[in-house]
Amino acid sequence: MFISVNPSSGEPVYRQVMRQLRERIVSGQLARGEKLLSVRDLSAEAGINPLTVAKVYQFLEREGFVETRRGHGTFVAGKAPTLSASARREELAPALRQLATEALHLGLSEEELLKLVSSTFQNLKPPQDHE
């Protein structure tokens, strides 16, 4: 599992890792019931502190994305978590600000950005959502 961390992005490292794991779970890249890397293995792979990974796994478990089985590891939860609409918007806010800033910096129009977001969204949707 490849996790990319950018310490100079302005976004805390634990949030970067959480976001990437959530994306992979929601998109189906990490299947329900799939075992995640151990805290030690993920921290070594990503080059981050094991306590950071443990914190990420704890947050994801509280949100319902993963479940920890004592002595067996951390697994993608069997059922999809539910976050309130306001919690979902709050979670997306930093990424949206960064995306909008990058789009403005690159000279993209709002319409171009919306088309790119829509296309990306469609490509990431889990297969069962396609009609």
In a domain, residue 102? The reply is: yes
When pLDDT is cut at 50, 70 and 90, the band that residue 129 belongs to is: very low
The domain in which residue 69 lies consists of 13-76
In a domain, residue 44? The reply is: yes
In a domain, residue 99? The reply is: yes
In a domain, residue 91? The reply is: yes
Residue with tokens 């100079």: 8
**Residues 91 and 123 reside in one and the same domain:** yes
Q: What is the pLDDT of residue 26?
A: 82
In a domain, residue 120? The reply is: yes
Separation of alpha carbons 103 and 92, rounded Å: 16
**Residues 64 and 17 reside in one and the same domain:** yes
Are 58 and 14 a contacting pair, CB within 8 Å?
no
Give tens-digit pLDDT for 66-84: 999 999 999 999 876 666 7
**Residues 107 and 67 reside in one and the same domain:** no
Q: What is the pLDDT of residue 128?
A: 67
In a domain, residue 4? The reply is: no
Q: What is the pLDDT of residue 81?
A: 67
- Our count of domains for the chain comes to 2
Residue with tokens 């997306």: 92
**Residues 71 and 92 reside in one and the same domain:** no
Helix 50-63 to helix 13-27 angle, to the nearest 10 degrees?
50
**Residues 64 and 19 reside in one and the same domain:** yes
Q: Which of 57, 76, 95 is where one domain is finished? A: 76
In a domain, residue 5? The reply is: no
Separation of alpha carbons 36 and 66, rounded Å: 9
DSSP structure string for 55-91: HHHHHHHHHTSEEEETTTEEEE-SS-----HHHHHHH
Give tens-digit pLDDT for 11-61: 899 999 998 999 888 878 899 999 999 999 999 999 999 999 999 999 999
**Residues 63 and 91 reside in one and the same domain:** no
In a domain, residue 8? The reply is: no
Neighbours of 13 (CB within 10 A): 20
Predicted structure pTM score: 0.67
